[in-house]
Chain A
Amino acid sequence: MAESRSAPVLEVRDLSVLAATQPILRGINLTVPAGVILALLGPSGAGKSTLLRCLNRLIDLTPGLRVQGEVRFHGQSIFAAGADPDALRARIGILFQQPAVFPASIRQNVLFGVRHAGRVPRGDWPELIERALGEASLWEEVKDRLDAPALRLSVGQQQRLCLARTLAMNPEVLLLDEPTSALDPRSAEAVEHSLLRLKGRRTLVLVTHNLAQARRLADQTACLVVREGAGEIGLPDPDLDRPAPTVGEI
């Protein structure tokens, strides 16, 4: 519950998502405390990605879906009338299963969000690029060719570039939608490594169906199960609730 640790960053209250009248998610309640990695497990089709996309209102972009219930970010309802979804998404970043790099240089990709948000002065950009790429464990591999086309990178490198791009925005929360399932083992390891280093400083919500990955990374887990055609929060696997030793050390 919320009071068990520090104040919750995200609270999901009785959230349902419907396509026409058919529910996809039903009555979801979830609390994400600050600074943890929360793993969201469940079979495919249980609506894990849909739930994740509700947390930064990216769900708005999918036409034909109706969202009921509430998601609170620092106590403020994000679906409320006056809420600004673009500002919200700048604070809650997302990483998809497939890397979505823009057809531009590596440098431009990292700066993509920052340039539009206009929060970082131009003079600080080189530093920002190094920090973001460093946090994403990509700096060493690309520092000599920042102006090369990003599409020439391998898929694993592209995914880390996407991570760097999100981190450059300095988000409080990072939503990760099976970020390593399309990657080769080495890149997957590098991404996991980066995620572990972020722990404590940022809040991470990780959708995965790789149990071992959840065990390696997560402090907390939640399970989505399919009941009567819609996803609901089920009982987490007791084995998974225990943090893995590596996590404890960091």
Chain B
Amino acid sequence: MRKVFDLGFKWVTGLCALLACGVLALMVGAILFRGLPAVSWHFLTEQIRLVGADGGIFYNLVGTLILITTALIVSAPLAVGVALLQGIYLRSAAGRRRLLLLLYLLNGVPSLLFGLFGFIVFVKFLGWGKSWLTGGILLGLMILPTVTVALIERISSLPRRYLEAAAGLGLTTEQVIWSVILPQSVGGLITGALLGLARAAGETAPILFTATIFAGATVPAGIRESPVLSLPYHIFVLAQDSFDPAVGTKVWGTAVVLLGLVGGLSLIALPLRLRIHEEANHG
């Protein structure tokens, strides 16, 4: 009886794990099957034509890259600052707890609300109109918790004795940070940033009202009224109108490219990220 239950238990949980992996395989398989035929060199290097039914997605790719690069430039310094406060400067457990709650809350804010915030503040109050910079700033703030927590976990897994050894040589906290802590934890920053960027690349909601349009933009020349095209918004628009077979192929092709970008960024980061995470949480 006990043996039977044990075996059944293992089977059921195993099936759950298999189901999770199966869903992934099914989804990726379906997208590749539908979309790969559409992906070609021309698809990547040409502009949109015929409202998405023909041509390629060159400027969508460029736009998404502009957005996530801006997000990286916004979030990386902030992440370093916040992580140092959490990992080094804050001495009290209560203070650290409060800062962590702040990050946790920020991580919980629905991405759509970032978009509305940007719409009110940048698009309307500051009068920027739709601008790549707004999108980059919002995406940067949105991925900030991901990047910061990765960095914090890396910093907190550094052996205390490095810091003590450095301090023992008469270095100030400032010098220890720049000569020991940051060089040692750059791995955490990179993996966190890559995962954050993977998320940012696929987000539609924050840029919907603030930074992206469907057609007619190239490389932005300024800040005001300088929207970009983007991959996720392209899919979002075409998905609502995907009964035209020509459009259907293009939208799947775009999904393949977006998935490739996101998956590539994640795959570089994940093995290292998971290891740091395990070390930080389970000794």
Contact = CB atoms under 8 A, between A and B. Distances in A.
Interface in A65-102: 84, 86
B275 interface: no
A5 interface: no
Interface string B228-257: 000000000000000000000000000000
Contacts, number: 5
A98 to B, nearest CB: 14
Contacts of B2: 86, 116
Interface in B1-47: 2-3, 6
Contacts of A84: 3
A86 B3 CA distance: 9
Interface residues of B, number: 3
Interface string A104-121: 000000000000100000
Contacts of B6: 86
A129 to B, nearest CB: 23
Interface in A143-169: none
B181 to A, nearest CB: 32
A116 B3 CA distance: 12
A116 B5 CA distance: 12
Contacts of B3: 84, 86
Nearest to A117: B2
Nearest to A116: B2
A84 B7 CA distance: 13
A202 to B, nearest CB: 24
A229 to B, nearest CB: 25
B107 to A, nearest CB: 30
A84 B3 CA distance: 9
A86 B4 CA distance: 13
A116 to B, nearest CB: 7
A84 B6 CA distance: 12
A86 B10 CA distance: 15
A116 B6 CA distance: 12
A115 B120 CA distance: 62
B244 to A, nearest CB: 53
Nearest to A84: B3
Nearest to B6: A86
Contacts of A116: 2
B159 to A, nearest CB: 21
A40 to B, nearest CB: 27
B5 to A, nearest CB: 11
B14 to A, nearest CB: 17
A153 to B, nearest CB: 25
Interface string B199-241: 0000000000000000000000000000000000000000000
Interface of B: 2-3, 6
5 contacts: A84-B3, A86-B2, A86-B3, A86-B6, A116-B2
3 A-B pairs closest in CB distance: A116-B2, A84-B3, A86-B2
